[in-house]
Amino acid sequence: MAEAGVQFKLGLVGYGEIGSTLGAGLRKAGLDAIHCYDKYAFDGPYRDLMQRRAEEAGVTLVRSNQELADVADVIVSVTPGSVSLESAAAFAPCLTPRHTFVDFASATPKIKIGVAQRLTATGALVGDASIEGTPKNGYAMPILSSGAAGERVRDLLNPWGMRIEFVGDELGRASGIKILRSVLIKGIEALTDEMLLAARYYGIDEIVLASASKTLARPWMDTVESLIPSGIIHAKRRAEELEMSAEAVADAGIEPVMARAVAARLRWKAELGLKDDCKGIEPPDYKAAIDAIAAKMKAV
């Protein structure tokens, strides 16, 4: 058990995989009062599962936004980002200046700013957070926080064993880090799916995966510093290679969605004309390369 922090009344919005993991972990760590509102907890396809998890964890399920606001001081929303604005609007009539409200959903900075705007009139302290780990890490999954309530939620929950890192006062900063990181992380998943499905058709999936693993075994920043500056010079050749990769994927009966998208992005970079601008010499590092691309975009 973590070293005990200050007792406070926590409210969770959503009791799916994330909400139930947080609720069970924090109760086990010794936080006494945890309530949860999930609109499907009493009338939904997974109500039995939610109710059983809540009972086993010692989390009290409530039936409305208002009931949760009445019993909680700090409210953490773990609904999908697609309903963040709707959820915030539903809490607008319920919150008061005594409340702290932090949206943990994976969403854009624009959505998190919209959440805060919908709650401005309540006087509640509003923050933004994003989860970088998974429930497999338990309730101590890595989380980033930002905005006016970012430090407060960190200071209240970390003593109970959570791992929240405050990344700045600007609302939406935490979510921006997560949602843009997802371009890479979720992209890797989709690229690997496409690669392995096609490789399986050719009977070389294990060999292809082993070969890719050798390249990806080095530190990620080494890969970034290798690919991004050299891409200024070699984008056209790489685009041509990916167009052939897309053909091989298509020949395997798989729609080459990812391969074609990668080829298109590389073609776009090649057509910026940066190779000529740099006289065939690679920029010194990834920052210089990205700066060159950004500058060319403004000039075009």
76-98 per-position pLDDT tens digit: 999 999 999 999 999 999 999 99
Domains and CATH numbers, the chain: 9-177 (3.40.50.720), 218-300 (no CATH)
Q: What is the mean pLDDT of residues 154-168?
A: 97
In this prediction, residue 137 carries a pLDDT of 86
Distances (CA, A) of 100 to 150, 187, 229, 254: 10, 34, 44, 48
Q: What is the mean pLDDT of residues 220-226?
A: 96
What are the pLDDT digits (tens) for 54-76?
999 999 999 999 999 999 999 99
Tokens of 16: 């799916």
Tell me the pTM: 0.88
Instruction: Band the pLDDT of 1: cuts 50, 70, 90.
Output: very low
In this prediction, residue 3 carries a pLDDT of 55
**Starting at the edge strand that comes first in sequence, how are the strands of the sheet with 100-103 ordered?**
60-62, 33-37, 9-13, 74-77, 100-103, 125-131, 142-146, 163-166
Pairing of strands 60-62, 74-77: unpaired
CB 24 within 8 A of CB 56: yes
Please give the mean pLDDT across all residues of the chain: 96
Q: How far apart are CA 145 and CA 129, in angstroms?
A: 4
φ/ψ region of 273 (left if φ > 0, alpha if ψ in -120 to 50, else beta) reads left
Q: What is the mean pLDDT of residues 9-28?
A: 97
